[in-house]
Amino acid sequence: MIKRIFACTILTLCAALAQAQSLIPAPPQLAATAYLLIDAHTGQILVEKDADKQIPPASLTKMMTAYIVSEEIEKGSIKEKDQVRISEKAWRKGGSKMFVKVGDRVPVIDLLRGVIIQSGNDASIALAEHVSGSEEVFAEVMNQQAELLGMQDTHFVNATGWPADGHLTTARDLGTLARALIADHPQHYDIYSEKYFSYAGINQPNRNRLLWRDPAVDGIKTGHTEEAGYCLVASAVKRGMRLIAVVVGTDSDEKRAGETQKLLAYGFRYFQTHKVYGKDDILQTERVWGGKEPEVGIAVERDVFVTIPRGGEESIKADLIIDGELEAPLTKGQPVGKVVVTLDGETVADVKAVVAEDVEQAGFFKRLWDAIKRFVMGFFQ
């Protein structure tokens, strides 16, 4: 198998400047049980402490409840305008409430806002029953979805985060779920930035204090129980970079907001998301044997982003590896190799290289002529 390697260095600067710009101080030490800072585009972990320690998620559970409801809406199984009848179980549930009443019929989208903004336990149970028939069956769906997302250390028992034996997750798994919320259901993600929601004449604020303090913050969810402490999963966007911070187990509402701010500030100050290639970028052209066209452009299957120290573009190297010679017919999007992106010698992205356009097979005489040329060239090589 023949492999050709094409390397490019992006924005080369002088070595002294590069060294000065790549100096990064140690991350802040937070007063929390566990925490995590992640680049939402790339999934790169920037800061972590005890990120795999299992902890009770409290109302951060409702992130999964909301995710599944959005999934069901997207699949067409339910609709935003569907009227959900409120059960006695949903109405009686304690803790934070949307204040629905037994027998009320409430649109799915209003209940979704009640879950996300007001952290309503009643709204969560009502939606769980509407989707799956019961909260217990819905919890099984939550666990199936967690497995699909790769949340390996998570187990859900209910839709609310109400304390229960075996109802556990980790900061890492919550980061995975947050990325999925943002990427998979952008049509509902805007709800996480809404500061207030009124229902039945009761206007309640979003419990995420950072929505008032930092205009870059646009979500996601708070949680609190005596065992879990005060928790927050927050996301913010600056200069084209989206960060997700997961902070669990602080000792006050104010502390969870303040500690999360420290984490986000550190990430934005010292790191950046860099777009190496766009999906439609032609990296180079390759010879095609037996095709109507003699060459074809090579692209990447998706946009390629990497997380790098701020100002560290000069340390990126991209290698295009073509797996053998190309023969027609070729179909647009057909994998023919890969692009490996490294930062200071460490692989940070590995993406399929694909054909940028269709190439039809040539006629008999053109294919015969190409075959002769390949034989002759191979003989001399």
Task: List, by residue number, the catalytic residues.
Answer: 59, 62, 119
**Single-letter code of the amino acid located at 270:** Y
Q: Which helix (H) or strand (E) holds 266?
A: helix 253-270
Question: Considering only CA atoms, which of 224, 225, 164, 185 is closest in space to residue 233?
Answer: 224
Q: Alpha-carbon distance 330 to 322, whole Å?
A: 14
> In angstroms, what is the C-alpha Rg of the chain?
26
Question: Considering only CA atoms, which of 236, 230, 186 is closest in space to residue 70?
Answer: 186
Phi/psi for 64 (5° steps) reads: -70, -40
Q: Alpha-carbon distance 149 to 172, whole Å?
A: 12
Q: Alpha-carbon distance 268 to 182, whole Å?
A: 19
Q: 220-251 b/e with 16+ CB inside 10 Å = b? A: bbbbbbeebbbbbbbbbebeebbbbbbbbbbe
Q: Alpha-carbon distance 134 to 128, whole Å?
A: 6
- Going through 217-309 in order, the beta strands assigned E by DSSP cover 217-225, 229-238, 241-250, 271-277, 284-289, 295-300, 304-309
The sign one gets for the Cα dihedral 69, 70, 75, 79 is positive
Q: Would you put residue 192 in left (φ > 0), alpha (ψ -120 to 50) or beta?
A: alpha
**Single-letter code of the amino acid located at 91:** W
Under 8 Å CB-to-CB from 334, ≥6 apart: which residues?
Answer: 354, 355
